[in-house]
A and B are shown apart, each in its own frame.
Chain A
């Protein structure tokens, strides 16, 4: 069994979904997503948690250019695949209450995007990586633009231009790397084996960095993000925040740092500073938000900043923290957006100041909300805690100051998250919130799964950490061996 089945199934599924009626399409899509999840789980069970690449597929694609359809799964990829395959059914399920116009197209696009994402996470060929990268971008553009809010056209074109611009620079970097390889291959391992001068590495570093920084997003490349999150339909926002921004992070781990180690050693410090600025910036802005969805969006900037900081610190703890935190953040942020989706669907607004006392009328909802908030603020025994602890540790080993700043920000984050919870759920019922009905059916299912995941991962993260540990360690050792320039 190779990874190709994992990549092609969603494409086929996407096409098939288009042939269903709108009402049936969501069931079909969910079915396909679950099949995909099943596949992924079977992959996990068969996975040997060492540094090797498994389930390898390697077919000629454009051989005269050294391009091969080559993909495989190592520990890092496995985590990402798991994240994707778990979240996609959840996201599809979360849309059950919506009546989307021309819904089958939405589900087809989601499935297609899943294929792109999985390609990114498993690609071992630079070209394939790029193609997957863009293949994930097109569907999300259409999802956001077709089913988005008022300003969707302007916001989405901004989003698209940003990400596309970034990715083109990445393409240039990839082609450049290819041209340096002695055997003219796009294979990632032949990229790894290159020893380029610092100047060349600088080019490559910036080519990749801009693409990934925009995707994550790192301050100051984030300006597309809050608008897009706000305007996008909830499913789109979830795809974006839950999975897509992980593409950037994964890219940094897999493509940026190993391919330009010396440039990273030179620039990593500044990248780290940018990440920390992002944490602070995201938190401060989030603190002032009235719109719940925007608040989550900015908090996401802060969290991603932390993940990025952990990676740029480039230690086993940091990267492992990033791995686990990616999953946690994915789950939490999907949950958070779903919460806000439920609220805005019931109340027609997302303005926090208009709310209050919902817990009284919707106890189940309030419990789920609370768990997700706690997960987000990284309370021990929730999933957020494991990741943030490791990340902070990684950053702490790098420089204490940044760890301190980042740590303070986490506390800060707890404040605004809890304040949000308080404002929305507690206090007096008003006219608006009195109409709130408790969650039911598919909503209950989704929130239930999310809460369960939050707690399970929080209590017992070991299997997940174990999955990626060997690969991460191996990667860090190989790359660190190449550092010639001194760190700051």
Chain B
């Protein structure tokens, strides 16, 4: 629990550091603080997963929360390391950058450990409001402005749905407590009223907006493209992961007894999400936009765990999210470097990269393979868990749809590999700063390690 407090105080400290012109100290302090939060979070882990709700049942910091906190914090640390020297070019309010990212992270930690709909709402909103600002942080860039406005309007809109859903559920059950709602469902299955069902539907709509699942995805590509790359990275990894963690927590702990009601809905959403994301990604000429659309399709895969909800769902989402996050970090890290040199987000910017920067090309290849779900990378393990989960519920057609989509995704992920290795271009060597080397190397190693021996992290959540 200490980790939430640390992560909440840390940005304030950073803001004040920024005030007193201690720009050099920002990154070290942020990273050290996050490491402290990481440690305190890990210490909360218990073998038997026997955590009890705290703060009057507001939060439940169990192993699920620990696992997702850890991956969120680690991803954030990596992203912050990538930010070395990046923000200075965009804006002169660097401290605010770090602070807002960390505020958002604080919201995320709440999102993965809530035990009451109030806290879920608060967590989501702390995260979202911070992101609205982050998306528009490049004040004079039109695309960034537009991204911020779209994200803001859509986010606020979806919040409305989410809240209305929560209100209806409260009306039906008279409580915001997750266990309370579940108990109500279990104790009075006969008189479940339409209020409750409508509430669940609206919550699905709201959450699907937040995680960018089709048909509520239309803001995603614009926002992802318009926002600065690092922020896009943050949004498409940590935020998405947290969104799904919150999603799963709600549906597995709370709405499980009426699973037969909402699974068909989510099933349709999943299938649409997969196809929309993949097919649109196929036509993109910009790497960043491709990543944006592919993140929609990844949202589709992540939905698998919720559609096929069961004991293994948490682990499946965790594995998939981990794989997806670290691979995305590599991809965006590479994109930032390439963009600095070539000034373009397009695939052609990667042409011939392998000749001059074998290391960069190699880690990017690992990332792309992982995203495409090729064995011996973490991405495959993630997909494997998802498929296993779905098949265990006999959703064979869903899996076949997913397989078709996995095949489609090969086309666009391999475009990067093809560009790097098989196309030639006159280019200079891209300079890879030491921070980037560390982050990219670490992520690539983690990808392979998890891919080869997933047991290292798959035991976190039982």
Contacts and interface: CB of A to CB of B under 8 A. Distances in A.
A179 B421 contact: no
Interface string B420-462: 0111000000000000000000000000000001110011000
Contacts of B423: 153
B458 A64 contact: yes
A398 interface: no
B268 interface: no
Contacts of B384: 127, 171, 175
A145 B414 CA distance: 11
A218 to B, nearest CB: 19
A61 B455 contact: yes
Contact of B391 (A64, A164, A175): A175
A89 B403 CA distance: 36
A138 B417 CA distance: 12
B418 A131 contact: no
Interface string B345-388: 00000000000000000000000010000111000100010011
Contacts, number: 73
A161 B387 contact: no
Interface string A149-173: 0001100010011001100110110
B422 A175 contact: no
Given A61-B455, A168-B403, A171-B384, A161 B422 contact: no
A146 B422 contact: yes
Nearest to B396: A203
A146 B421 contact: yes
Nearest to A130: B375
Given A61-B455, A64-B458, A172 B391 contact: yes
Contacts of A171: 384, 387, 403
Interface in A44-94: 60-65
B48 to A, nearest CB: 16
Interface stretch (B16-24, B282-290, B405-413): B405-413
B400 interface: yes
A423 to B, nearest CB: 34
Contacts of A19: none
Interface string B275-315: 00000000000000000000000000000000000000000
B399 interface: yes
A153 B391 contact: no
Interface residues of B, number: 28
B376 A135 contact: yes
Contacts of A138: 369, 374, 376
Contact of A134 (B375, B388, B411, B458): B375
A57 to B, nearest CB: 15
A178 B312 CA distance: 15
A192 interface: no
Nearest to A152: B422
A169 B403 CA distance: 7
Interface string B41-55: 000000000000000
Contacts of A287: none
Contacts of B410: 157, 160-161, 164
Contacts of A131: 375-376
A460 interface: no
Contact of B414 (A63, A134, A157, A168): A157
A62 B454 contact: yes
Nearest to B418: A153
Interface residues of A, number: 32
A266 interface: no
Contacts of B392: 179
B384 to A, nearest CB: 7
B452 to A, nearest CB: 9
Contact of B375 (A135, A146, A172): A135
Contacts of B406: 168
Nearest to A177: B391
Contacts of B403: 165, 168-169, 171-172
Contact of A178 (B375, B388, B421, B454): B388
A176 interface: yes
Among A63, A157, A160, A168, the most chain B Cβ lie within 10 Å of the Cβ of A168
A12 to B, nearest CB: 14
A142 interface: yes
Interface SS of B by simple majority = helix
Given A134-B375, A135-B375, A138-B374, A179 B422 contact: no
Contact of A164 (B407, B418, B422): B407
B418 A176 contact: no
B390 to A, nearest CB: 9
B376 A145 contact: no
Contacts of A130: 375
A178 B384 CA distance: 12
Contact of B421 (A62, A64, A145, A169): A145
Contacts of B455: 60-64
Contact of B376 (A62, A63, A134, A160): A134
Contact of A175 (B369, B375, B388): B388
A145 B391 contact: no
B105 to A, nearest CB: 30
A161 B391 contact: no
B398 to A, nearest CB: 11
Given A142-B421, A152-B422, A160-B414, A65 B388 contact: yes
B375 A179 contact: no
B422 A153 contact: yes
Interface string B167-199: 000000000000000000000000000000000
B430 to A, nearest CB: 18
B339 to A, nearest CB: 23
Contact of B387 (A146, A175, A203): A175
B453 A61 contact: yes
Contacts of B418: 145, 153, 157
Contact of B399 (A65, A135, A152, A172): A172
A127 B374 CA distance: 13
A152 B399 CA distance: 31
Nearest to A105: B358
Contacts of A61: 453, 455
Interface string A126-141: 0100110111001000
B399 A161 contact: no
A62 B385 CA distance: 11
Contacts of A165: 403, 407
Nearest to B408: A161
A160 B458 CA distance: 29
Interface in A165-215: 165, 168-169, 171-172, 175-176, 178-179, 203
Given A153-B418, A161-B407, A164-B374, 18 more contacts: A61-B453, A62-B454, A63-B455, A127-B384, A131-B376, A134-B374, A135-B376, A146-B421, A161-B411, A164-B410, A165-B407, A168-B403, A169-B403, A172-B391, A172-B400, A175-B391, A179-B391, A203-B396
User: Can you list the 5 inter-chain pairs with the closest CB atoms, starting with the nearest?
Assistant: A134-B375, A168-B403, A131-B375, A165-B407, A175-B391
23 contacts: A64-B458, A64-B459, A65-B388, A130-B375, A134-B376, A145-B418, A145-B421, A146-B421, A146-B422, A152-B422, A153-B418, A157-B410, A157-B411, A160-B414, A161-B407, A164-B410, A168-B406, A172-B396, A172-B399, A175-B384, A175-B387, A175-B388, A178-B388
Interface of B: 369, 374-376, 380, 384, 387-388, 391-392, 396, 399-400, 403, 406-407, 410-411, 414, 418, 421-423, 453-455, 458-459
